[in-house]
Amino acid sequence: MSYRQLNPYPHIEQVLIVLHTARQNYTLIKKVAHAFFALTLVSGVGLSGVTEAAADTKASAIVVDANTGKTLYQLNPDAQRFPASLTKMMTLYMLFEAMASGKVSKSTPIPVSAYAAGQPPTKVGFRPGQSISAEAAILSLITKSANDSATAIGEYLGGSEQRFAVMMTNKARQLGMRNTQFRNANGLPDPQQRSSARDLALLGIALREHFPQYYDYFSTRSFSYQGRRIVGHNRLLGKVRGVDGIKTGYTRASGFNLVSSVNVDGKKLVAVVMGGTSGGARDAQMAKLIEQYLPAASRRDGGNLIASRKNSKAEVAAIDLPDSANAPVPVPVKREEAMAPAEDVVTAYAAPTPVPSTAARILAVPAASPKAEIGEGDVSEVDPVTTASAPSGGWMVQIASVGSPEEAKAMLSRAATQVGGPIASLSPYTEKFQKGSQTYHRARFTGITSAKAANNACAALKRQNFNCFAIAPQS
């Protein structure tokens, strides 16, 4: 753009000369803008006097009194943002729920598939076929934010990471998280994976309320695993009075994220900062918010603020642990990656369109209907069968569970037409199953002779944006 195009108003000639000169040092302007916005966040200054360009930022934050549910501070609290490794909070919620129900113990070995082992850093660094105990997996997520461990948990609990992501989103709906959708277990970049500061505050409160027996894990600063000392990323632990967790996260698209829980003399806060410009700036913002709003918190315990699973009206599919011998192994997906110090891998996606703020109190947000969709299929009814024998035996790939056989057949036909290649020679197959009073129909391709062929078929389907997981033949 030329200088004259920038100057439609001659009477502000001198101002534009200054601006035109300043444009030659874009890096300086960017740093000044970031510093200015960080100042508005930590000081609690509103955005009414900030220009529209400055308001259009990735930053969002919320501070909630965890005793009463009252929102003490908010900045774009319902705007959808990339959660990055804050995703692992829900992965841990699902694992804690399985442990509380007796389906998993602390010593349960969680197998690590080739797909899980192939996740980019940060990670523990497994070889395919190794396993990790549930407790060590928990600690690796909380301290190192291990992507390989998170994926292994997702595959173990859901049969595939994709199916586990549906279960995670279903759980989010149940907890009242309206602006959240999960696509994977670890928070690695996906343009459709998103959450909000308010939703993550809800999740932080739910973790403490629903699983007090496991909550102390979040205060872990380091642990030893196979002779190695693994040190955590949460630098506020032990430095800011009362901070006892929860989770950090970073990608290029998300900026630096942090959820913190605070407990001081009976006063409890959960605070969220998303879109920080650096790890240090994010930590400073969080520390300032805690210092400023802890005095306003109540010591009065209002009881559980988030409905437990038993009391919720939302129907959620049970966790069906797969037989480890038949657990499907997804195809590794290549991701653009670049390391950030002591945080997570990163990539570049544009931030999604923000959702306007609609409530000032966290408890005033009603739970959304659990009938929202992720790709194809209904998230409120996760197919409870992970493995089943095909009509002619062999491997299968499933792309959906839907409400009618006609819809299932139409999806299979569309997939065969769009994907071609390894799909064109396969046999479409629909299978009816009952869940409660509802009938559903699985859309599957059969006639697959090997695990490699099934994985290749799934890879081709996913490239065309079809959901897919492989199903091993039953012995």
Identify the helix (H) or strand (E) that includes residue 279.
helix 279-293
- Considering the domain architecture, whether residues 64 and 41 belong to the same structural domain is answered as no
pLDDT at 91 over 70: yes
- Residue 333: partners with Cβ closer than 8 Å, 6 or more residues away: 462
- Considering the domain architecture, whether residues 31 and 120 belong to the same structural domain is answered as no
Tell how many helices (H) and how many strands (E) occur in the chain.
12, 13
What are 384's two structure tokens? 């409870």
- Considering the domain architecture, whether residues 35 and 66 belong to the same structural domain is answered as no
The lowest-confidence range among 28-32, 207-211, 385-389 is: 385-389
- Considering the domain architecture, whether residues 191 and 251 belong to the same structural domain is answered as yes
Contact predicate 377/457, CB 8 Å: no
Indicate which residue of 60, 85, 195, 401 is catalytic: 85
Q: What is the total count of domains within the chain?
A: 3
- Considering the domain architecture, whether residues 204 and 338 belong to the same structural domain is answered as yes
Burial of 357 by CB count in 10 Å (0-12 exposed, 13-18 middle, 19+ buried)? Answer: middle
Q: What CATH number has the domain bearing residue 166?
A: 3.40.710.10
What pLDDT is attached to residue 256?
93
- Considering the domain architecture, whether residues 95 and 208 belong to the same structural domain is answered as yes
Which of the four pLDDT bands, split at 50, 70 and 90, describes residue 474? low
Percent residues over pLDDT 90 in the chain: 43
The lowest-confidence range among 4-13, 237-246, 248-257, 347-356 is: 347-356
Q: Which of 288, 278, 232 is nearest to 255 (CA)?
A: 278
Q: Does 390 map to a domain?
A: no
What pLDDT is attached to residue 391?
52
Burial of 474 by CB count in 10 Å (0-12 exposed, 13-18 middle, 19+ buried)? Answer: exposed
At 130-146, the pLDDT tens digits run 999 999 999 999 999 99
Residue 54: count other Cβ atoms within 10 Å of its Cβ: 13
Q: What CATH number has the domain bearing residue 399?
A: 3.30.70.1070
Which of the four pLDDT bands, split at 50, 70 and 90, describes residue 36? very low
pLDDT at 216 over 90: yes
Q: Which residue has the higher pLDDT, 395 or 141?
A: 141
Q: Does 380 map to a domain?
A: no
Q: Which of 173, 222, 228 is nearest to 369 (CA)?
A: 173
Indicate which residue of 145, 160, 380, 401 is catalytic: 145
What are 16's two structure tokens? 């534009």
Burial of 299 by CB count in 10 Å (0-12 exposed, 13-18 middle, 19+ buried)? Answer: exposed
Alpha-carbon distance of 190 to 168, in angstroms, equals 15
Average pLDDT over residues 46-69: 62
Identify the helix (H) or strand (E) that includes residue 88.
helix 88-100
CA atoms within 13 A on the CB side of 19: 10
The lowest-confidence range among 234-248, 307-321, 435-449 is: 307-321
Alpha-carbon distance of 242 to 353, in angstroms, equals 35
- Look at strands 222-225 and 228-231 and give their pairing: antiparallel
- Considering the domain architecture, whether residues 40 and 178 belong to the same structural domain is answered as no
Q: Does 369 map to a domain?
A: no
Which of the four pLDDT bands, split at 50, 70 and 90, describes residue 473? confident
Give buried/exposed letters for 185-224 (b at 16+ CB in 10 A, else e). Answer: bbbbbbeebbbbbbbbbbbbbbbbbbbeebbebbbbeebe
What pLDDT is attached to residue 290?
95
At 96-125, the pLDDT tens digits run 999 999 999 999 999 999 999 999 988 999
- Residue 454: partners with Cβ closer than 8 Å, 6 or more residues away: 328, 395, 396, 397, 448, 470, 471
- Considering the domain architecture, whether residues 317 and 434 belong to the same structural domain is answered as no
Q: Does 247 map to a domain?
A: yes
- Considering the domain architecture, whether residues 39 and 68 belong to the same structural domain is answered as no
Q: Does 111 map to a domain?
A: yes
Contact predicate 191/349, CB 8 Å: yes
Q: Does 386 map to a domain?
A: no
3-state secondary structure of 405: helix
pLDDT at 315 over 60: no
Indicate which residue of 58, 88, 268, 462 is catalytic: 88
Which of the four pLDDT bands, split at 50, 70 and 90, describes residue 147? very high
- Considering the domain architecture, whether residues 466 and 342 belong to the same structural domain is answered as no
Alpha-carbon distance of 282 to 255, in angstroms, equals 9
The lowest-confidence range among 40-49, 356-365, 462-471 is: 356-365
Average pLDDT over residues 25-31: 47
pLDDT at 314 over 50: no
- Considering the domain architecture, whether residues 64 and 44 belong to the same structural domain is answered as no
pLDDT at 399 over 80: yes
Alpha-carbon distance of 150 to 129, in angstroms, equals 15
The packing angle between helices 451-463 and 405-419, to 10°, is 90
At 265-289, the pLDDT tens digits run 999 999 999 999 998 999 999 999 9
pLDDT at 195 over 50: yes
- Residue 35: partners with Cβ closer than 8 Å, 6 or more residues away: none
- Considering the domain architecture, whether residues 39 and 64 belong to the same structural domain is answered as no
Q: Does 373 map to a domain?
A: no
Percent residues over pLDDT 70 in the chain: 69
Which of the four pLDDT bands, split at 50, 70 and 90, describes residue 453? confident
pLDDT at 342 over 60: no
What pLDDT is attached to residue 475?
53
Domain region containing 32: 10-48
Q: Which residue has the higher pLDDT, 47 or 2?
A: 2
Q: Which of 296, 231, 230 is nearest to 262 (CA)?
A: 296
145 is catalytic: yes
Residue 298: count other Cβ atoms within 10 Å of its Cβ: 16
- Residue 406: partners with Cβ closer than 8 Å, 6 or more residues away: none
Average pLDDT over residues 446-469: 84
Average pLDDT over residues 212-219: 94
pTM, to two decimals? 0.60
- 170-179, 347-356, 462-471 — which one is most confidently predicted on average? 170-179
pLDDT at 16 over 70: no
Alpha-carbon distance of 59 to 40, in angstroms, equals 11
Average pLDDT over residues 3-8: 39
Average pLDDT over residues 406-430: 84
Q: Does 309 map to a domain?
A: yes
Q: Which of 431, 394, 395 is nearest to 412 (CA)?
A: 431
